[in-house]
């Protein structure tokens, strides 16, 4: 369908939006530029959720155990070494279908176990055919790195090589990895196409392809890149498509990508039942930082993810919290990839207990044991709100989401 598609001006980046929400003058809200759209969650907090749900996850009983899946014995041992309980709903239903070679549409939020749902059967496919090439495309560097970390755990002792192709890292080192003829290539659209342009990567021999968080790739401007990549793939392939939502633009990608797919939806309620949602009214722009300070001093705020809307705003807030004595750091697009990964590791290890992030930088991250999510600056949309607060209340633990308005 896209054989004559011109790569043209690739949507590899995104334009930072106007900094919204008053941080006070010193935090650079400033009031210049357009007024950004804002979603006020008050009306939906604790509201009745949508009923277009296929599988009620909270009442779901797995039909398989991990030992039931017909995969290579060494791979199965690596899976069992992770000490998972029962497969999650997406794993329980997707793994058998992928093992059977079906194209698949997985409608699932972050944190549902979808990375393992596609990695386990695809690794088994590689073990059975050592010439198999798998391409996994993710919207952000952090998510791509996280997928590779999962790959390392599942592929221990299997002699399967991978290449990670993301921006912010040494491209020559990536070229060296690609020259090793890896079975698994993981990357972001922009950097993958950089390698295609330099002829260090061919996509026409990738027999299995995963588009992960496709909705977010479209949101941040990768639509043309994805369409162009699809045009370079072989006609005969297994296509796995994962997305939290499917709207018009995402559906256009979907229609060109999959062939006679099985669809699995594990979105239950839009917000988790174990996430307590609250709204805090901002007394005045100059008092907002003080209100945040008072919250963070409370003992129960032990691992906090704070969202602001721009890279500049995120860094300003992190700097201020550090000055005030909090163990905080920030991730955003102006930081080198090595810095972002190091900061994430410090947060996961609780060397810092406050992480401030933009929506793009945080997308797809799986950070365990987040006690609180704070929307210091309100999100632009309902979908963004849901994605933010879904960072807490995972794995049957309680969490709290607080939005400043």
Q: Which residues pair with 211 in a beta bridge?
A: 137, 241
Domain identity same for 131 and 153: yes
Domain identity same for 167 and 246: yes
HSE-CB for 338 with a 13 A CA cutoff: 2
Domain identity same for 213 and 307: no
Domain identity same for 206 and 308: no
Domain-embedded: residue 358: yes
Tell me the C-alpha distance between 222 and 10, whole Å: 7
**pLDDT bracket for residue 291 (50, 70, 90):** very high
Rounded to the nearest 5 percent, the helix, strand and coil shares of the chain are 40, 15, 50
Asked whether the predicted pLDDT for residue 173 surpasses 70, the reply is: yes
User: Could you write out the DSSP letters of every residue in 231-245?
Assistant: HHS-SS-EEEEEES-
93: which residues sit within 8 A by CB, 6+ positions away?
55, 264, 266
> Which is more confidently placed, 389 or 376?
376
Domain stops at, among 247, 265, 283: 265
**pLDDT bracket for residue 272 (50, 70, 90):** low
Domain stops at, among 239, 265, 291: 265
> Which is more confidently placed, 366 or 343?
343
* Of 373, 288, 363, nearest in space to 333 by CA: 363
Domain-embedded: residue 9: no
Domain identity same for 175 and 291: no
pLDDT in tens, 100-115: 999 999 998 777 889 9
**pLDDT bracket for residue 209 (50, 70, 90):** very high
Domain stops at, among 265, 294, 327: 265
Tell me if 115 sits within 8 A of 85, measured CB to CB: no
Domain identity same for 151 and 287: no
Domain-embedded: residue 320: yes
Domain identity same for 283 and 193: no
**pLDDT bracket for residue 361 (50, 70, 90):** low
Per-residue model confidence (pLDDT) at position 20: 31
Domain identity same for 175 and 189: yes
Count of domains forming the chain: 2
Max mean pLDDT among 58-62, 134-138, 280-284 falls in 134-138
- What CATH number did the domain enclosing 211 receive? 3.40.50.300
Per-residue model confidence (pLDDT) at position 273: 67
Per-residue model confidence (pLDDT) at position 44: 59
Domain identity same for 178 and 308: no
For residue 192, give the H/E element and its range: helix 189-197
In the DSSP assignment, the letter for residue 37 is P
144: which residues sit within 8 A by CB, 6+ positions away?
136, 138, 164, 165, 166, 186, 187, 188
Domain identity same for 230 and 306: no
Domain identity same for 277 and 325: yes
Per-residue model confidence (pLDDT) at position 14: 36
Domain-embedded: residue 8: no
Structural domain of residue 345, as residue ranges? Answer: 25-50+270-404
Domain identity same for 61 and 104: yes
> Which is more confidently placed, 250 or 135?
135
Alpha helices in 287-374 (DSSP H): 288-296, 311-323, 337-348, 359-362
Domain-embedded: residue 220: yes
Domain-embedded: residue 237: yes
31-45, 196-210, 239-253: least confidently modelled range = 31-45
Domain-embedded: residue 17: no
**pLDDT bracket for residue 34 (50, 70, 90):** very low
Asked whether the predicted pLDDT for residue 363 surpasses 60, the reply is: yes
Q: What average pLDDT does the segment 362-384 reach?
A: 84
pTM of the full structure = 0.68
Domain-embedded: residue 223: yes
Asked whether the predicted pLDDT for residue 130 surpasses 80, the reply is: yes
């Amino acid at each position: 369908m896209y054989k004559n598609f011109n790569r043209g001006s690739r949507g590899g980046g995104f334009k930072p939006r106007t900094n919204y929400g008053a941080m006070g003058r010193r935090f650079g809200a400033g009031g210049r530029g357009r007024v950004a759209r804002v979603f006020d969650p008050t009306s939906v907090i604790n509201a009745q959720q949508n009923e277009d749900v296929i599988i009620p996850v909270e009442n779901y009983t797995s039909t398989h155990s991990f030992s039931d899946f017909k995969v290579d014995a060494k791979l199965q041992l690596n899976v069992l070494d992770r000490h998972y309980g029962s497969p999650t709903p997406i794993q329980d239903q997707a793994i058998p279908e992928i093992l059977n070679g079906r194209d698949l549409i997985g409608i699932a939020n972050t944190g549902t176990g979808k990375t393992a749902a596609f990695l386990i059967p695809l690794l088994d496919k590689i073990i059975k055919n050592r010439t198999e090439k798998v391409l996994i495309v993710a919207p952000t560097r952090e998510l791509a790195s996280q997928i590779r970390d999962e790959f390392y755990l599942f592929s221990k002792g299997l002699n399967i090589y991978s290449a990670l192709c993301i921006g912010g890292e040494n491209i020559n080192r990536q070229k060296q990895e690609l020259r090793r003829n890896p079975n698994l290539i993981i990357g972001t659209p922009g950097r993958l196409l950089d390698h295609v342009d330099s002829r260090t990567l061919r996509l026409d021999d990738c027999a299995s392809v995963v588009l992960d968080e496709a909705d977010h790739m479209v949101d941040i401007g990768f639509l043309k890149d994805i369409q162009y990549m699809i045009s370079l793939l072989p006609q005969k392939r297994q296509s796995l498509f994962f997305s939290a939502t499917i709207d018009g633009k995402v559906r256009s990608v979907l229609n060109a990508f999959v062939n006679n797919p099985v669809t699995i939806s594990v979105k239950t309620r839009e917000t988790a039942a174990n996430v307590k949602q609250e709204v805090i009214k901002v007394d005045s722009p100059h008092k907002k930082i003080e209100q945040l300070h008072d919250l963070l001093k409370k003992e129960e705020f032990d691992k906090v993810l704070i969202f602001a809307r721009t890279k500049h705003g995120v860094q300003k807030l992190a700097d201020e919290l550090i000055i005030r004595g909090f163990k905080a750091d920030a991730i955003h697009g102006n930081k080198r990839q090595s810095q972002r990964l190091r900061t994430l590791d410090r947060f996961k290890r609780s060397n810092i207990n406050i992480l401030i992030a933009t929506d793009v930088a945080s997308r797809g991250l799986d950070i365990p044991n987040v006690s609180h999510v704070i929307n210091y600056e309100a999100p632009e949309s309902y979908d963004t709100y849901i994605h933010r607060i879904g960072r807490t209340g995972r794995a049957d633990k309680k969490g709290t989401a607080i939005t400043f308005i």
